[in-house]
Structure 1
Amino acid sequence: MTFDAHSTADDVLRGHDLTGTEAIVTGGASGLGAETARALATAGARVVLATRDRTRGEDAAARMREATGNPDIEFRALRLDSLASVATFTTEYLATGRPLHLLVNNAGVMGAPFTRTADGFESQFGVNHLGHFALTTGLLPALRAAGTARVVSLSSRAHRRSDIDFDDPNYERRPYDAWQAYGQSKTANGLFAVGLTARYGDDGITANAVMPGTIMTDLMRHISPADLKARGWADEHGRPRTDMPGWKTVPQGAATSVWAAVAPELHRRGGLYLDNCAIARPWTVDDDPPHGHYLPYLLDPGRAERLWNLSEKLTA
């Protein structure tokens, strides 16, 4: 079946029975993560909401259990800005003995002011990429145990803002630019999908990068009201707009993540960039790819290998 920019997560999952499927969704208590988790649970999956705030996470899990009628939705604490927290999460999940069929690396920060994680990484690179890198590699035994497993890595068209600066990925010497840093982290999310598939595709573990679209969610929390107005994303009173041309609703934004998780045509296929529930194509005309396209460095195998080696070193 063909889907498009207007399709929702429920549209994509219609007819799918995910009973017996184990899934983890990072940032699963709100926004796209919550919608992705809810949709997977509605189709019968057992879902873990991996998020940092216990109160919000437990409340979200309770609401989803009631809304879906699926009792197998649980919260587990995870801080992607702390490798110690990631290690605790992976150790506790592996102790359950459950296989892991779906890992949706959804959580992230965008346009944040300069801060560092508990381990000294620039926050956007540290949370969006390195935290998810450590999480995924830590969960490899559970992913292998599933037989075939899919990892969904949320990237963005914002990858156009920056390739990886391998000499200074954590802004230790160069001036900090919040949007450049966000773009670098989204490029890393794409390269991670390439690297994971290259290493573990023969084990049945594949990963694809996803462009969810532009959606007004809590991801926008670091953008000031003045900046929102300047970008045309807020009205004259500073209230975020919900009628932006080309923007998506949250159910539409979660559709491509869900498509990456269940589409039959993606069985054992990885290292791709997905947009509007379709496989995107490279764009070589200029540095502003339209929807459905990506800049070639996003999926470059050589860069993916180099980033993997760097990430192993930083998270060791």
Structure 2
Amino acid sequence: MTAITTPFGFSSTAADVVDGIDLTGRRAVVTGAPSGIGAETARALAATGAEVTLAVRDLAAGERVAKDIAATTGNQLHILVNNAGVMACPEQYTVQGREWQFATNHLGHFALATGLHGALAADGSARVVVVSSTGHQRSPVVWDDIDFAFRPYDPWLAYGQSKTANALMLGTIYSNLQRHTCGRGSGQVPAELIKTVKTGTVDRRSGTLHGVARYAVHPDNARRLWTLSEELLAEAV
């Protein structure tokens, strides 16, 4: 196995990483870009000359955005960053009956990514990033009761389940939401181990500060989630 090394370290920012990179003519979509990691990601990509689209987060809107992007970009896309999300919301559901956090954090992005599959595949070397959280440790995907039909609703369990779904889809990143999940601002992580939003944008490895739960990286769970997500989207249509 060959080790992969870079000149970047713990305090490197997204601006450091993209310095000197020219993405002129490349198209990127970033969800949840008004603030936090999404904003820094969009800023860094724009600085490279890339054409950046700031997308929305919910299921129906995600499908609309996917169709619009495919129709207006010559059906080719190079980078998709699924970053938008909600956290620990009061109990609520979509019109299709899906639990709000699972629908927003996972299904909306799944709809967007699969809806843009043709545009992404057309590039031949496109990249997709999904932003998760160490909050995934609060709950696996509860296959028999994703929508809390039989369990008392718990906003943090619902959030954890949605973040596990994000991890199963692609990976994790450490964000300022961690102050609520034993991370940033909670007083439970040494300051020297905490990245800022600017530095947290750089890579996903810092998401393993507390370790990634086995259920969040299990290939069988990933396949099961993919199939389930396709079924739920089909029902929505």
> How far apart, CA to CA, are the structure 2 residues paired with 1:27 and 1:88?
16
Alignment pair present for 1:157 and 2:157:
no
> How far apart, CA to CA, are the structure 2 residues paired with 1:112 and 1:254?
24
The aligned counterpart of 1:250 is: 197
Shift, 1:187, TM fit: 0.8
The aligned counterpart of 2:216 is: 298
**Equivalent of residue 131 in structure 1, options 100, 108, 117:** 108
Shift, 1:25, TM fit: 0.1
Contact persistence 2:75–2:118 (CA under 8 A): no
Q: Which runs of 5+ in 2 are unaligned?
A: 1-5
Alignment of 1:61-100 (within 5 A): 78=56, 80-83=57-60, 85-96=61-72, 97-100=74-77
Shift, 1:210, TM fit: 2.7
Alignment pair present for 1:172 and 2:154:
no
Contact persistence 1:99–1:145 (CA under 8 A): yes
The count of aligned residue pairs is 226
Question: Residue 172 of structure 2: SS of its match in structure 1?
Answer: strand
Alignment pair present for 1:307 and 2:237:
no
> How far apart, CA to CA, are the structure 2 residues paired with 1:98 and 1:313?
25
The aligned counterpart of 1:16 is: 21
Contact persistence 2:27–2:52 (CA under 8 A): yes
> How far apart, CA to CA, are the structure 2 residues paired with 1:6 and 1:180?
32
Change in 2 beyond 3 A, CA 1:180/1:4: farther
2:69 is matched by which residue type in structure 1?
Y
Q: Which runs of 5+ in 1 are unaligned?
A: 51-77, 194-208, 235-240, 257-273, 281-289
Q: Could you list the per-position Cα deviations for residues 138-185 of structure 1 after superposition, in whole angstroms to 9, with x for gaps in the alignment?
A: 011100111111110001111111111000111111111111111111
Alignment pair present for 1:46 and 2:7:
no
> How far apart, CA to CA, are the structure 2 residues paired with 1:141 and 1:166?
29
**Equivalent of residue 210 in structure 1, options 160, 172, 177:** 172
Change in 2 beyond 3 A, CA 1:178/1:4: farther
Shift, 1:292, TM fit: 7.2
Alignment pair present for 1:36 and 2:41:
yes
Moved over 4 A (4+): 231-234
Shift, 1:18, TM fit: 1.4
Question: Residue 28 of structure 1: SS of its match in structure 2?
Answer: coil
CA RMSD, Structure 1 to Structure 2 (Å): 2.7
Shift, 1:100, TM fit: 0.8
1:93 is matched by which residue type in structure 2?
I
Change in 2 beyond 3 A, CA 1:94/1:275: same
> How far apart, CA to CA, are the structure 1 residues paired with 2:53 and 2:109?
15
Change in 2 beyond 3 A, CA 1:6/1:20: same
Alignment of 1:232-271 (within 5 A): 233=185, 245=191, 246-256=193-203
TM-score of the two chains, using structure 2 as the length reference: 0.86
> How far apart, CA to CA, are the structure 2 residues paired with 1:292 and 1:40?
29
Q: Could you say which structure has the higher strand fraction?
A: 1
Shift, 1:233, TM fit: 4.3
The aligned counterpart of 1:3 is: 8
1:215 is matched by which residue type in structure 2?
N
Contact persistence 2:14–2:199 (CA under 8 A): yes
> How far apart, CA to CA, are the structure 2 residues paired with 1:232 and 1:98?
39
Shift, 1:123, TM fit: 1.1
> How far apart, CA to CA, are the structure 1 residues paired with 2:230 and 2:218?
18
The aligned counterpart of 1:238 is: none
Moved more, 300-309 or 4-13: 4-13
Question: Residue 121 of structure 2: SS of its match in structure 1?
Answer: helix
> How far apart, CA to CA, are the structure 2 residues paired with 1:101 and 1:137?
14
> How far apart, CA to CA, are the structure 2 residues paired with 1:232 and 1:252?
13
> How far apart, CA to CA, are the structure 2 residues paired with 1:169 and 1:3?
39
- Aligned-residue sequence identity (percent) comes to 48
Shift, 1:15, TM fit: 2.7
Question: Residue 175 of structure 1: SS of its match in structure 2?
Answer: coil
The aligned counterpart of 1:267 is: none
